[in-house]
Structure 1
C-alpha cells in the first residue's frame, strides 16, 4: 500500500488521499481532472492502479483530481464483486484533462454494448487526451475513437482488437502506445506504466520517478508484452508442405534447419519455401526457427535450467547467440529474464 492510500472492503471508497487534498467530487479551478469511465464488470485494478499513480503524484507537487463516471451515474459492481461509488454520469461531466476507459474481462468475449460505446464518446469529445487501460481499448474501438490510429491492448486479445477495428494498427508487444492525444495500454498493470508516462508528460521525469519509487514499481520496465506472453502458438499452416516443415522444426528445434536444408527436405526451391512462410505466417523461415528455439529456451529457463543448458536444449549454436535473441525480443538477457520470471521467492539477505 502506498503512503497515501488505504484499503477497504465491500464498497470501494472514492479514490483519494490524505496528502494533496481531496481528489474527488468537484474539481477546483486549475486542477487537472482525470476521469475514469467505469461500468458493471470493470476490472478493479484497471481503475485503482492508475488512480493511485495520480493521487500519489499530488504528494510531489501535482494537482490531479480523480473522478469516476458511469454511463448512467449509478454505482457499478467491479469484477471482484466490490461496489464502486461513482461521482456522476458521463453526460453531467464537464470537460476533463485526461479521460481513461478501464477494461473488463467481458471484452472481447462479448461485443461492447451500444450504450457503453455511446457513453464513451461523450467525455472524449472535450477531453485533452483520451486513453484506455487493457481491454478498455475495445470500448474506445467500439466508440470509433481508435479509427486510423495506432493502439495496443492485452497481448492475448490483440488479434481480436485488430479484427474488430481493421482501420486501427494494433501493436501487440507495446506496453503502451501514444498516437497524438490518444493513449492505449497493455494488460492490467500496464495501466500503471501509462499513468506514470502521463505524469511525466505533465510534470517531468523527476516527479514520475518519485511516484514510481513511492509505489515500488518500475518507472519504465524493460521490454514489451512478449516477456509475459505464452510460448509461440497459432493455427497450423494450411499448406501440407509448410505444416510438414513447421512440425519438423517444432519436434527437433536443435536440428539443422537452414533455409537450404528445409527446402531440400520438401524438395522445393528456397524461393518457394520462403514465399510459403511469407504468405501463410508472415515470417521468414529463419525467424520461424528462431522463434521456436526462443520459446524452448524460455521454457527451459522457467523450469530452472541454467542459461547454458537452455541454449543447448533449444538448439542455439551458443549462449551468445541465444543472448542476442533475448536482447532483441525482450530487451534483457536470459539471466535477467530468469531472475524476473523464474520464481517469486527472494533470496534471503543476511
Structure 2
C-alpha cells in the first residue's frame, strides 16, 4: 500500500479513480440505456462524462443538493425531474412523510445527469417526450387503457432483447435513432394537436405562464397564478401533460424568483447592519447609541433564520472597530 503511494502521484491516483468510474458507467449504460445511446450516437459523451461525474465515489450515497452540484444545476431542478422520472432514477428512499429524503448512488446521479442534459429550456426534448422514450408510452396513469402496441414497441423490444449484437446492428443502421426521432416528433405533435381543445388550452397556459414570468408580478401574485394550472387540469383532463409541462416550467421560474428575492433581501439586511454600525460609531450620545442597539436587536428578532449570518456580518463589518463587547450586549 505504502509502496504504491510512493510510486504514483496524487494526480495519477485521481486519474485512476476517474478511469474506474468511467468504466463502471460505460459497463452499466453502454448498450443498455436509450438515453446513453442518444449521447453516444451524437458525439455528446463529453457532456455527461464530466470531471464531477467521474470524480464520484462508487460507494457513496448523495443528497439532492450534492447531486445538483455534480450535475451542475439547481437543487429544485433535480427534485422536479426526479419527481417526474422517479421509477427510472430509482433513488434510495429514507424516512416517511415530511421527513422523507432521497439518496442517490452513482447510477442514479448519472441518470439525472443524462436527463438534465436532454431536457429544459433550449434542450431537444421535453420531460413528457423523454418519458415516452424511456417507458414507451407518454402517460403512466393507472386509469389508462392498454398501451398502444406501437407506443410500447421500442421499450419492450429493448427490455426483452437478449443479445447485444441485435441492438448494435440497430444502432449502426440508424434504425434505432430514426425510431427515437420519430417518437419525439409524434409526441410533440400530440402534445400540440391532441383533441379539439388544444389551441384553447395552449392559449390559456401561455397567458398564465407569461404572467408568472413577468417582472410586473410579485411572488404572491405568481403563486396565485400557479394555482390556476390545477383548475385547468381539472377542466381539461385530456390535455393534462401539456398543462403539466407549463406548470413545471412555471414552478422552476417561481423558485428562481424566490431565490433571487431572498438574496436581495439578505443583501439589504447586511447593508442596513453596516449603516447602523457606522451610525453607532459616529453617535454623539449614549441615547443615540441605545436607539441603534434597539434597531440591531430588532433586526435579529425579525430574522431568526439569519441569526448566524447576522452575527457573522457583525463580527466581519465591525472587526476593525473592535466591537466585541457591544456585539455581546446586542445579541446576548
Give the TM-score taking structure 2 as reference length. 0.29
Q: Greater CA radius of gyration, 1 or 2? A: 2
Larger helix share, 1 or 2: 2
Larger strand share, 1 or 2: 1
Give the TM-score taking structure 1 as reference length. 0.28
